[in-house]
A = this chain, B = another copy of it.
Amino acid sequence: MSLTDRTKPTDVCLNTDLYELTMAQGFWESGLADGEACFNAFFRDCPFDGGYAVCCGTGQIADLVENFVFEDDDIAYLAGVQAPGGGPMFKPAFLEYLRNHRLDLTIHAVPEGQVVFGREPMVRVEGPVIDCQLIETALLNLVNFQTLVATKTARVVRAAEGHPVSDFGLRRAQGPDGGLAVARASYIAGASSTSNVLAGKIYGIPVFGTHAHSWVMAFPSELEAFRAFAKSSPKNCVLLLDTYDVHQGIKNAITVAKEMEAAGERLSAVRLDSGDLARLSKEARAAFDEAGLPYVKISVSNDLDEYTIQSLFAQGAPIDSFGVGTKLATCDPQPSLGGVYKLSAVRREKDEPWTPVIKLSEQSYKRTVPGVQRVVRYYDQAGRPTADMLVVDEVARPGEPREMVDILDPYLVHRLSGEPKDLLVEMVRHGERVGEPEGIETARERCREALMRLDPAVARFLNPQTYPVGLELGLADLRSRLAREERAESGRPTV
């Protein structure tokens, strides 16, 4: 996708699925324009067969809401869209309603960098049902992918055991936005830098990069290429060893490192981008140490992910830093979070009580949780999260909850202890941002702390422990009753 195809950077309102607009028109025509709804954005299963995810993208929701305006050219385009059965898809009066319509939404969300688990709301959107639909696709587009990348990065950074990880994924991303999202989310989740210069400019993320194979090939010899790069970038010199033959590359790099020493400079590192990285990194380390160059670091790249990095360390590879590209940017092997946005309550208008609703479907794993939900996270004395409970205040049993029903298994009850805290934070109130925009560094620090406090049994890659997520007992009763009645009547029961 070329950046140049955008007519304007704020073309937010049409970044949506058509059905959001046909539904909006339908609500408007059905006299439900004042009807209010509550939607939750969540994913069902943690990605990568893991035990957790890292929430990301929620810090940009307020921007999205504040910039959501249908301008004249948007309305003109919509006026020209034809219905398959003939005639215009949208009525002129509805388009006039949309023109300069502002979203009157109140949105609570999990702060960026916090860990989250399957089926609990990451974002809760309340307000006019039309507005809730209008923002659905753009919100999912914002949160789904960034949460996936942040989660992937947290895993890669964990595998790297404190060694720096740099995002190299831009060329394999889905256009410039994909690249920016990868850089932003991966930095929040613990990456040290990015190769993406635009992300450096927009977000202030540290940028990193030296030279490619083409640099070496453009000179008559590798040695001349190394010398030229050292001369041009003595303070940022990482030499790539594998253009022709790694062993000759090591020799040439040692020659240049010595020449740099003589000139009062230091070769920062060498990089390996192909071959057996475990063996080659050991050979390079030994050669540099023997040459009296213990400070020259070894960096590697080439289709890395959390598993290859773990394997390299298991083989004793003396690697100092990692460039991770394709598998970070594409979140291989699971390129989609499967995040959804589901209605959980409705009311005829503002200030009326909510009516909780449920979606069933033939597949029980797609069953939703009804009501306007809070998420309460319980922490032990060391500040480590122990359980997350969904609560709908209107149906909650009186008194301090001592147990909850598992969100997937109605026969499984979890005991609760420790200090409860609300997980969702109000980010938008009636269409306006609550508080100041949060810096990316704040989110990054939150993520570092959250991952540090996460139970290692939940964090491990292989067969992680399932973190307890459940329903407050009153909510569990409500869900069970609604599911039975809905199935019986195929219409919404009253509560």
Contact = CB atoms under 8 A, between A and B. Distances in A.
Interface stretch (A172-180, A311-319, A388-396): A172-180
A329 B35 CA distance: 33
Interface string A157-183: 000000000001011111111111110
Contact of A175 (B37, B63, B141): B141
Contacts of A487: 244-245
Contact of A22 (B23, B77, B233, B243): B233
A446 interface: no
A381 interface: no
A326 B336 contact: yes
A273 B360 CA distance: 12
A243 B21 contact: no
A208 interface: yes
Interface string A140-163: 111011100000000000000000
Interface string A232-263: 11111100001111101100100000000000
Interface centre among A25, A174, A213, A236 (most CB of B within 10 A): A174
B168 A243 contact: no
A175 B171 contact: no
B77 A2 contact: no
B275 A18 contact: no
Contacts of A210: 19, 22
Category for how many chain A residues contact B: 35 or more
Interface string A465-495: 0000000000000000000001101111000
Contacts of A489: 221
Nearest to A220: B492
Nearest to A174: B178
Contact of A2 (B20, B63, B196): B63
A243 B180 contact: no
A436 interface: no
A488 to B, nearest CB: 9
Contact of A228 (B26, B211, B252, B333): B26
A2 B60 contact: yes
A139 to B, nearest CB: 9
Given A212-B23, A213-B343, A60 B174 contact: no
Contacts of A9: 3-4, 6-9
A41 to B, nearest CB: 10
A16 interface: yes
B17 A274 contact: no
Interface in A360-400: 360-363, 366
Nearest to A198: B14
Nearest 3 pairs of A and B residues by beta carbon: A18-B209, A175-B177, A174-B178
27 contacts: A1-B180, A1-B184, A6-B6, A21-B209, A22-B211, A22-B236, A23-B212, A26-B232, A26-B233, A27-B218, A29-B232, A37-B218, A84-B208, A132-B214, A213-B343, A217-B492, A222-B491, A224-B491, A242-B362, A243-B359, A244-B491, A249-B490, A252-B490, A273-B361, A276-B362, A331-B335, A332-B335
